[in-house]
Amino acid sequence: MQLQSINFAVMTMNKNTILGYATLIMVVMGLILIGLGIFKYNEVAGIGFATVGIGFLAIAWVFNSLKGRV
């Protein structure tokens, strides 16, 4: 019984819902990486973490713009 309910929950998610969750995860990870770059690492590694975090936010922006178009 439990397998059928899990399968039904997955079946009700459409592409926009999945892109919405992907956008949320990417924004959270981007903010975490930027926070690590600012507050934890004071050397070159901090610049790298912040740069990757900005990249995550850019990809999340693309995911958000794809909602409704795919």
Buried b (16+ CB within 10 A) or exposed e, 18-41: ebeebbeebbebbeebbebbeeee
pLDDT for the residue 13: 81
Mean pLDDT throughout 44-48? 91
Report the alpha-carbon distance of residue 36 to residue 15 in Å, rounded. Answer: 31
For the chain, give the percent of residues with pLDDT over 70: 83
pLDDT for the residue 12: 79
Q: What secondary structure letter does DSSP report for 39?
A: I
Residue 33, token pair as written in the block: 């990486």
